[in-house]
Amino acid sequence: MRLSAAQIDFFETFGFIKLPQLLQDSVDWITDEFTKTFPGQKEITPHDGMKRTCIARFIDQREKMNTLLDDPRIEGIGASLLGENFNYMGSDGNYYTGESGWHRDGFHHKYRHIKIAFYLDQLDGNSGALRVIPGSHRLDDRFGQDLQAKMHRSQEQWELKGSELPAVVLDVTPGDILVFNHNMFHASFNGGSNRRMFTINMCERYQEEDLQQLRDYIAGAARFWIDRSYTDLMMNTATPGRMVHLEQVMANDGHLAGLSAEMRRTMPEPARG
């Protein structure tokens, strides 16, 4: 599957796209696998509804979930927006509690990074649906710069709470897929204490001269106390097709184990997001 030229242009213009019911036929097994991934995770406290619980390398944990990367619909989103040889950049699985304030996931000028979000509950603006500010992924224009300077102090700046800022609320039904540029401002408000969601991150393949930037990005995952970017399961079960999306990160994550060891010494628990 490839996105149409119109879908790609929409994504490039507004920074996100919703693909209604793209994975409708897979909701049951995905939800089942999601549930099975949480119990018994080493070093992860079971979700108690008080704060977000997050598992890094989420789709890496179980063999069936690994295959989402091979699914032509998911692979096709990456290939359409990032090129045929895009990198898989990890995944997280979450039980969210409450809201997520406005933020960008990245500030990438040269390489496009995207997030594919799978929400497993029916959500709208009153129950924690993701909201986005269309066009806010554009870092280089005045709009993007204004947002960077002002979004974190909306009350002082505009006398408005985060939930009152102008945004598109992306209502979801399980099976819908949301895709957004990491640079885009996004948030959620009014969520309950057990909102289920997981992500798959991807980026364009880095050029040789920028590999240090890629290594710096990979280093950020040390806060999750992981020694490699991918699990052995994800790497060992990879088809040649999947390996195209793993190989650049596998060749550049040699520093992660040392950094994670340092984090284990200095953090009380792995990061929750």
- The answer to whether residues 114 and 81 touch, using CB atoms and an 8 Å cutoff, is yes
Q: What is the smallest separation between the CB atom of 247 and ligand AKG, expressed in angstroms?
A: 25
Query: Counting contacts by CB under 6 A, is residue 91 touching ligand AKG?
Result: no
Query: Counting contacts by CB under 6 A, is residue 197 touching ligand AKG?
Result: yes
Closest CA to 181 of 10, 35, 2: 10
Q: Regarding beta strands 130-132 and 16-19, do their DSSP bridges make them parallel or antiparallel, or are they unpaired?
A: unpaired
Among 37, 91, 188, 248, binds ligand AKG (CB under 6 A): 188
Q: Regarding beta strands 186-188 and 177-181, do their DSSP bridges make them parallel or antiparallel, or are they unpaired?
A: unpaired
- The answer to whether residues 180 and 115 touch, using CB atoms and an 8 Å cutoff, is yes
Q: What is the smallest separation between the CB atom of 168 and ligand AKG, expressed in angstroms?
A: 14
Nearer to ligand AKG among residue 87 and residue 100 (C-beta): 100
Q: Strands of 16-19's sheet, edge to edge?
A: 16-19, 177-181, 113-119, 195-203, 87-96, 53-56
Report the C-alpha gap between 256 and 238 in whole angstroms: 21
User: By CB under 6 A, what part of segment 123-162 binds ligand AKG?
Assistant: 130
Q: What is the smallest separation between the CB atom of 25 and ligand AKG, expressed in angstroms?
A: 24
Query: Counting contacts by CB under 6 A, is residue 199 touching ligand AKG?
Result: yes
Nearer to ligand AKG among residue 63 and residue 124 (C-beta): 124
Report the C-alpha gap between 143 and 121 in whole angstroms: 33
Q: What is the smallest separation between the CB atom of 217 and ligand AKG, expressed in angstroms?
A: 15
Closest CA to 203 of 67, 110, 96, 95: 110
Among 112, 186, 196, 228, binds ligand AKG (CB under 6 A): 186
Nearer to ligand AKG among residue 105 and residue 247 (C-beta): 105
Query: Counting contacts by CB under 6 A, is residue 70 touching ligand AKG?
Result: no
Residues that bind ligand AKG (CB under 6 A): 96, 100, 105, 115, 117, 130, 186, 188, 197, 199
